[in-house]
Chain A
Amino acid sequence: MARVILITGTRKGIGRALAEHFLTLGDVVIGCSRSAPDWTHDNYQHFELDVGDEPKVLEMFNAIRKTHGKLDCLINNAGIASMNHSLLTPLDTVKKIFSTNTFGTFLFCREAAKIMRKRKTGRIVNFATVATPLKLEGEAIYAASKAAIVSLTETLAREYADFGITVNAVGPTPIQTDLIRGVPQDKMDRLLARQAVRRFGTYDDVINVIDFYLRAESDFVTGQVIYLGGV
């Protein structure tokens, strides 16, 4: 039977690349984002929602349960950033970032685990960032929201182990997507210089780590964060 894989933030960027990767492998992919994607596929179903909107998210999980009766993997990719000095950051921005990155990730982990526990197996992959360990100035809130995801990953790994579910995270370096389009070149150069391997990351770098986490043989790997680029 085909795997059912739920990926958040599939309209564009890394999320879209992940969806295309798993569709190519023959998996059934369910995705979501706030606006509709401009692409489709026979084995793909899209939900237009904000990952922090609990009623809508619950409705979506209900639909997944009724249609597929199972969920093999969840990839919590949806994320937003705001590059700004913390002294210039309004509280509303902070709330928005935490709502998508942290609360959204929590909500999806919780609801996915409720379905996965029935078959005593499941894989959850969350998205961290090198901005946290590198303590990047100008990304205080983004890095904090992702630090919370690292902590969640480590603790949920323990709580969900009883249900056969692994919870891990991947921490990408800068990858050229819309997310980092506004970051000035000199800042980017300095950032890349702090990596062990000094280049931009690619979609394939992220896919490689996620494929590893999703393997059946990886059932003894949980609560881990793999940062790319040697950070």
Chain B
Amino acid sequence: MKNVNAIILEQIESFNENLDTPVDTSKGDDTILFGAGGVLDSVDFVGLILDIEQAINDEYGKHLALTGERAMSQRNSPFRTVGTLAAYIEKQLED
């Protein structure tokens, strides 16, 4: 099974094809997704999160909802970087 970080990066790469200002993934896990230093507007952000959610669900055969109250109520947003999002998804996959 592909690991979560790889799936996220793969989804960003394919999402980048439709962006004028692509997300710079050269920093790997430290790639910024949202917040200061991020390049995605809110609509693209929604689209990317949906792509990642779909890819994770397909790979692991589960129905994770990445944007539940749990994510929204965390003090440090899990959507900040690839690394934080991967950690958040892995935790959900374990539950």
Contact = CB atoms under 8 A, between A and B. Distances in A.
A55 B50 CA distance: 17
Interface in B2-21: none
9 contacts: A55-B63, A58-B63, A114-B50, A114-B54, A117-B47, A117-B50, A162-B43, A163-B43, A163-B47
Interface string A159-191: 000110000000000000000000000000000
Contacts of A58: 63
Interface in A57-82: 58
A114 B43 CA distance: 13
Interface string B32-56: 0000000000010001001000100
A96 to B, nearest CB: 24
**Residues of B contacting A: mostly:** helix
Contacts of B43: 162-163
Q: Which of A55, A58, A162 has the most CB of B within 10 A?
A: A162
Contacts of A163: 43, 47
Contacts of B50: 114, 117
**Residues of A contacting B: mostly:** helix
B18 to A, nearest CB: 10
Nearest to A162: B43
Q: Which 9 A-B pairs have the closest CB atoms?
A: A162-B43, A58-B63, A114-B50, A117-B47, A55-B63, A117-B50, A114-B54, A163-B47, A163-B43
Interface string A113-129: 01001000000000000
Interface of A: 55, 58, 114, 117, 162-163
Interface string B45-88: 00100100010000000010000000000000000000000000
A168 B54 CA distance: 27
Nearest to A115: B54
B43 to A, nearest CB: 5
Given A117-B50, A163-B47, 7 more contacts: A55-B63, A58-B63, A114-B50, A114-B54, A117-B47, A162-B43, A163-B43
A69 to B, nearest CB: 13
B2 to A, nearest CB: 19
A56 to B, nearest CB: 11
A162 B47 CA distance: 10
A117 B47 CA distance: 8
A222 to B, nearest CB: 16
A114 B49 CA distance: 11
A108 to B, nearest CB: 16
A162 B43 CA distance: 7
Nearest to A65: B54
A58 B50 CA distance: 14
A58 B64 CA distance: 11
A78 B63 CA distance: 24
Nearest to B18: A120
A111 B33 CA distance: 24
A216 B77 CA distance: 40
A55 B62 CA distance: 11
